[in-house]
């Protein structure tokens, strides 16, 4: 935190603080948000915006209606700041939704393989499932490369309708791609990634049962 006070523009300080904070037992999600809001008021850097939207999204997913509003706000601010930079990594999911709760539910991208690496990319070397699948409803499909899924909490998640990979062990039916209007309002589940441009869905699959 001292480094952040002295160098508020150094994004590595924010990232190092967050990675350390989420592993400390005495730092819960509310405390992390409180610290980030203080830094936001001093210097609204892209990284502060990113972590604020991530944490508020976690709270929204866990049932907080108020958190959803903040998640959408900071997600939009983060996207508006990052898109003009045209960075190669701005669509990359630096964090994933894991199987815990609060801060412990976040999984850093270095802890999992790339989604492009093939089957079982979401498991560790022992075969343990690292990520959680989350349900939603297909809300919009504008093209094979652009669509959105709505989570139960109301947050919207970007997905690629023209691409779907079979995920062993998930509750899914038929393979193929998603098209409009046939698949609109259909229930799906997927792995949730947090990119600087917003929420992203991976390995989207139809649910075999209604939730």
| Structural tokens at position 157 | 């998640």
Instruction: Report pLDDT for 153.
Output: 98
Question: Chain-centre distance of CA 51, in angstroms?
Answer: 11
Out of 6-15, 112-121, 200-209, the most confident range is: 200-209
Give the Å distances, CA to CA, from 114 to 95, 168, 211.
Answer: 12, 17, 29
Instruction: Please tell me the predicted confidence (pLDDT) of residue 169.
Output: 47
CATH code, 106-206 = 2.40.50.140
> Which CB contacts under 8 angstroms, 24+ apart, belong to 140-145?
140/180, 140/184, 141/178, 141/179, 141/180, 141/183, 141/184, 142/180, 144/177
pTM of the model: 0.87
pLDDT given at position 10: 56
Instruction: Tell which wins on pLDDT, 114 or 192.
Output: 192
25-36 pLDDT per residue, tens: 777 999 999 999
Q: Report the run of H or E that residue 134 belongs to, with start and end.
A: strand 133-143
Q: How confident is the model at residue 1 (pLDDT cuts 50, 70, 90)?
A: low
Q: Which of 177, 173, 185 is nearest to 160 (CA)?
A: 177
* Among the ranges given (134-143, 162-171, 201-210), the one the predictor scored with the smallest mean pLDDT: 162-171
Percent of the chain with pLDDT over 70: 86
**Domains of the chain: which residue ranges?**
2-92, 106-206
- Tokens (6 digits) for 158: 């970007």
Residue 149 clears pLDDT 50, i.e. is over it = yes
């Amino acid at each position: 935190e001292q480094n952040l006070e002295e160098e508020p523009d150094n994004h590595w300080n924010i990232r190092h603080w967050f990675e350390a904070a989420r592993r400390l037992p005495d730092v819960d999600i509310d405390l992390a948000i409180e610290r980030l809001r203080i830094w936001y008021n001093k210097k609204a850097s892209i990284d502060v915006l990113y972590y604020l939207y991530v944490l508020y999204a976690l709270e929204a997913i866990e049932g907080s209606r108020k958190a959803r509003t903040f998640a959408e706000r900071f997600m939009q601010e983060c996207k508006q700041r990052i898109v003009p930079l045209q960075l190669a990594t701005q669509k990359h999911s630096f964090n994933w939704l894991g199987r815990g709760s609060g801060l412990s539910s976040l999984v850093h991208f270095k802890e999992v393989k790339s989604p492009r690496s093939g089957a079982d990319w979401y498991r560790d070397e022992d075969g343990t499932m690292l990520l959680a699948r989350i349900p939603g409803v297909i809300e919009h499909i504008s093209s094979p490369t652009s669509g959105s899924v709505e989570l139960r909490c109301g947050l919207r998640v970007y997905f690629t309708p023209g691409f779907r990979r079979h995920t062993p062990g998930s509750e899914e039916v038929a393979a193929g791609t998603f098209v409009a209007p046939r698949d609109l309002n259909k229930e799906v589940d997927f792995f949730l990634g947090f990119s600087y441009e917003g929420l992203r869905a991976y390995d989207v699959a139809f649910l075999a049962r209604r939730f």
